[in-house]
Amino acid sequence: MSPPDLNRGNTVVARRTGARALVAAVVLSVVAVSPLHVANGATESDSSDPATDSGTAAATIPADVAALVPGLDARLADAPISSGPASAAIATLREADEALDVLLVESADLQESERRLQEALDKLTATERRAADELAVAEGRKRRLAAAAYTQDPSSTQGYAILDASGPVEVARRGRLAGSVGETLNTAAHVADDLRAAASDGAATVGDELAGVRNRRADLDASVQEAVAAIVAARDEVTETLPRATVAGLDIPLVALDAYLRAERLAAFTDPECGVTWWHLAGIGRTESDHGRFKDSEPDEDGNVSPPILGVPLNGKGVAAIGDSDGGELDFDVVHDRAVGPMQFIPSTWERWGATGTPTTTRTPRTSTTPRTQRRATCALSQEARSLTIHS
């Protein structure tokens, strides 16, 4: 039930609710001495109470993963969660991240290899071009020497005019000189040709390696895109499933615990003297609806509880007699009021203390807003009323 609505004489109901909530709150306060304990090792408790035993933690919530859920209380980073879709989604996300890291490392290596191979190819191409130029020069000189050696033009300065020599001795001398120059030019031509051929072969080999690297980079780029898509899909899955995960050791859906923690933080800021804690609120949530999981109901990733949780008609038969006050807008009952939502507020309490205005499209107050309403109502009541809801 809700905190007592003093205007409707619901004190007896509130006492019973407060007593049950106190038991759950005390258990939670033992399991998690502080919010920091909640976020860092709540599974240390060896309690076998079903309210707090949710099995072994299958994963923790890394800070970067917690950041995927907008507004998630920072104290929930590293919180342990039980095995389920969320822990599987976190594992999938980690695998996708690691796969992308491997691909990016390989891509960086290939990029560096491509750079070095391109530099080598440029050098070999330049060497081949220079050697070809030197070969062409040597061959040209050989041809000019051959032509000049037998010219009859005594004024020629391009050769040694063997046929114009004045005698056999001079002919022999000029022949030997021409032969020596020719050998030098032949050697230069052979060296240039060998260098050109080696550079050409080297350029071909490096070119093939470069083509292979570029082909691998193209394939890798496609793999990177696939890996990025896998990460996006995994993040979407985490965003969808993480709020519904169960905090190991507390048996509280993450979205509900986040609501309790944020309500506590808001109370500490707006009403420091109130002293309400997250586990006070969690005790009430546990007692009233098992944190929004009564029967077939479940909170979704946004904190909306579906199907709606509705209490029995408050028709005076074993319960308080409260006639309809909301035209059935919240509780779907136009005759009597019913307690509504995870914290089981009656419509008049929600109308008075609702923290965020209107409920959701299901017309049922949300898990993510009802703890704040509970905090407001609790802090606003007199000390006697607070003792009914929390300290009885």
How many CB atoms neighbour CB 227 within 10 A?
20
- Mean pLDDT for the stretch of residues 235-254: 92
383 pLDDT above the threshold of 60: no
What is the distance between the alpha carbons of residues 339 and 1, in angstroms, rounded to a whole number? 6
Rounded average pLDDT over 204-211:
95
Predicted confidence (pLDDT) at residue 162 exceeds the cutoff of 60: no
Nearby residues of 289 by Cβ (< 8 Å), 6 or more positions away: 297, 305, 309, 341, 342, 343, 344
- Domain limits of the chain? 6-84+248-391, 95-240
Interatomic CA distance for residues 182 and 270, integer angstroms: 103
Q: Please give the full DSSP string across 66-80, using - where no structure is assigned.
A: HTTSTT--GGGTT-E
Regarding pTM above 0.85, the answer is no
The answer on pLDDT for 15 being more than 50 is no
More confident residue, 40 or 55: 55
Q: For 366-388, what is the mean pLDDT?
A: 56
pLDDT bucket at 384, cuts 50 / 70 / 90: very low
Q: At what angle do helices 370-380 and 278-289 cross, to 10 degrees?
A: 110
Task: Compare 169 and 40 and report the one with higher pLDDT.
Answer: 169
Question: What does pLDDT average to over the chain?
Answer: 76
In this model, does residue 223 exceed pLDDT 80?
yes
Given a cut of 60, whether residue 134 has pLDDT beyond it is yes
**pLDDT of 52 over the 80 cut:** no
Lowest mean pLDDT across 24-33, 83-92, 147-156, 235-244: 24-33
What whole-number distance in Å separates Cα of residue 124 and Cα of residue 116? 12
Note the pLDDT of residue 189: 82
Give the residue, 52 or 229, on which the prediction is more confident: 229
The answer on pLDDT for 155 being more than 50 is no
pLDDT in tens, 69-124: 888 899 999 999 999 999 999 999 999 999 999 999 999 999 999 999 999 999 99
Helix axes 168-241 and 85-149, enclosed angle (nearest 10): 170
Confidence (pLDDT) at 213: 95
Residue 264, pLDDT > 70, answer: yes
- Position 267 scores a pLDDT of 81
**Helix ranges (DSSP H) in the chain:** 11-31, 35-39, 63-66, 85-149, 168-241, 254-270, 278-289, 347-353, 370-380, 383-386
Residue 51 has pLDDT above 70, yes or no: no
Q: What is the mean pLDDT of residues 158-187?
A: 56
Nearest to 348 by CA among 320, 307, 388: 320
The answer to whether 145 touches 159, Cβ cutoff 8 Å, is yes
> What confidence tens digit (pLDDT) does each residue in 273-313 have?
788 889 888 998 899 999 999 998 988 888 888 888 899 99
Among 3-17, 109-123, 292-306, 350-364, which range has the highest average pLDDT?
A: 109-123
Query: Which two structure tokens, joined as six digits, stand for 319?
Result: 């319960």
Q: Report the share of the chain in percent with pLDDT over 70.
A: 68
| Cα(178)–Cα(355) distance, integer angstroms | 109
Higher pLDDT, 1 or 150: 150
Considering only 90-104, 136-150, 172-186, 333-347, which range has the smallest mean pLDDT? Answer: 172-186
What is the total residue count of the chain?
A: 392
